Chains A and B, each alone.
Chain A
């Protein structure tokens, strides 16, 4: 069965520090992988996506993610976190059939000054 696991429910980092959010997936073939960010009371905004090719993908707001097939991982990174990055981050796999996505349970990021 397809699934996405985000092991960290909540992460706290200092502003200016580096960030890595973990994502592991289970899928029968090469997946399409996504990272979304959600601010309180808002919808989801796409940060970056991996379809194929270069396993290191760049996204918006200075984020990047690396696809590692051997580890079934797609971790999100940012070299220097800003206070405005505080939000909920979701990893997703899909589309599995049509445009149906499976989401992880999310990682809540707190940034302290």
Chain B
């Protein structure tokens, strides 16, 4: 059974640009969560989608957004990139609506220059 797939693995963007990251969850999983990982802040929750609806959102500015499609694949978008957005973005896939373990993808390493 395939794991969580995140694409691309690496990205380099310049300040002011926007970027879209993709996450394909484990087959049958309907919940997708996104996390930002930086050396200074650790792992911080961005948002979670379940059945195409955003259920929770972390404390990030509106430049960070996401969506989920009917096949459970999810995308997150960051607009007007800042240097501080450089991070590893991790996607986590869960089977059900709550109280389940999360399976993580390998992440997308975003570098903003």
Which residues of A are in contact with B by a Cβ distance under 8 Å?
32, 34, 36, 41-46, 49, 51, 90, 95, 97-106
Contact = CB atoms under 8 A, between A and B. Distances in A.
A31 to B, nearest CB: 11
A95 B42 contact: no
Contacts, number: 65
Task: State which size class the interface on B falls in.
Answer: 20 to 34
Contacts of A99: 31, 33, 48, 50, 56, 92, 94, 97-98, 100, 102
A100 B48 contact: yes
B99 A32 contact: yes
B26 interface: no
6 contacts: A34-B101, A42-B107, A43-B107, A98-B55, A99-B48, A101-B45
A51 B58 CA distance: 24
Interface of B: 4, 6, 31, 33, 35, 42-43, 45, 48, 50, 55-56, 58, 90, 92, 94, 97-107, 109
Contact of B102 (A97, A101, A102, A104): A101
